[in-house]
Amino acid sequence: MDRALPAHGFECEGFGNWLKANAIAREDLDLDHLAEYHQDLRLCGQLNDLVEHLATEVFHVLFSNRALLGMFNELLSRTFLLNFSDELPCEYEDLFERQGKLKRVSAPEWAKRAVFHRDRGLCAFCQKDLSGLVSTQPGRHFDHIVPLAQGGLNDVTNLQLLCESCNLKKSSETYTVSGIYEAWY
């Protein structure tokens, strides 16, 4: 923690200073003291701030990898289908088309913007420009990487940008993720 907090821009009293403030000699140190220090970091909010910061960084890195998101959502869909209960609480029934298959819902605008930005306004399969800057041809489709018909989720991590032609070819086939990525350098 003493290295992680400052490395991510958070001030840290330091474990050594915490020991001094609590009059604990290093030779008397035990696991309970470490747990107390950890709890103090949690109570003052530093640990939660660090975890939130790291989660944001990890999400940023992972969200850009459609292949990883495809595998992640395939795992989620298999888990979901295997563990789907016949007796779904009535408050969730309207979310499903049939057992194990979620109803299609429109992606919220924030999710569309995130996917559009991640995919750079290009079809993830054929790289057709869908930004509207070069071509005014419509046809932005926000496709479920793992189709709903296969237990895919309505989640931003399960979306990719496709042109109309590629999306219609893909349909509800087994999930396929483009291996085409724009170079960052």
Q: Over range 141-146, report the average pLDDT.
A: 90
Indicate if the pLDDT at residue 50 is higher than 90: yes
Contact 44, 22 (CB under 8 A): no
In a domain, 79, yes or no: no
In a domain, 71, yes or no: no
Residue with tokens 């016949």: 86
User: Residue 46 is part of which domain span?
Assistant: 4-57
Whether residues 41 and 91 share a domain: the answer is: no
In a domain, 64, yes or no: no
Whether residues 106 and 149 share a domain: the answer is: yes
> In total, how many domains does the chain have?
2
pLDDT digits over 85-138, tens only? 566 677 877 887 776 678 888 899 999 999 999 998 999 988 889 987 766 666
Instruction: Calculate ∠ Cα 84-86-92, nearest 5°.
Output: 75
Task: Give the end of a domain, one of 41, 57, 73.
Answer: 57
